[in-house]
Amino acid sequence: MRDILPEIEQWLAEGEEIALATVVRTAGSSPRPVGAKMAVTRSGRMAGSVSGGCVEGAVFEVALQVLESGRPQLVQYGISDEMAWDVGLSCGGVIDVFVEPLVRRG
């Protein structure tokens, strides 16, 4: 959190809507540990990461849904996730990512 807090503060000051994604569980080999975070704005800005770059695109899409609905989501990525065929972790691990709205309008 501390590493992406400067960006979040900046976005808050600019009135951005922000979603936060956090790795809450890992199994097998994963590129980033539990606690790794990525913040996303509705306007498309990003800070931090939740993997080595393999699932950030998918998490970004979930973050936009979460900002739209206002409802958090727990999503799992890994080789066993058939829906994520194009975003599987190349290292063979499985990660659970919790995506929540931090700042929403309305």
Integer Cα distance of 77 and 70 in angstroms: 22
Round to whole Å and give the CA distance between 28 and 16. Answer: 36
CB of 56 to another protein, least distance (A): 19
Task: List Cα–Cα distances, 51 to 8, 14, 71, in angstroms.
Answer: 19, 27, 23
* DSSP H or E run through 41: strand 37-41
Considering the complex, what minimum distance in angstroms separates the CB of residue 77 from another protein? 15
Choice from 14, 53, 72, 83 touching another protein (CB under 8 A):
72
- Residue 6 as a binder of another protein (CB under 8 A): the answer is no
Taking the mean position of all CA atoms in its chain, how far away is CA 43? 15
Query: If we measure between CA atoms, which residue out of 101, 93, 61, 57 comes closest to residue 76?
Result: 93
Piece in contact with another protein (CB under 8 A), picked from 42-50, 51-59, 67-75, 77-85: 67-75
The interface with another protein within residues 18-57 (CB under 8 A) comprises 22, 24-25, 28-29, 33-35
Which residues in this chain contact another protein in the complex, by CB under 8 A?
A: 1-3, 5, 9, 12, 22, 24-25, 28-29, 33-35, 71-72, 74, 91-93, 96, 98, 100, 102-103
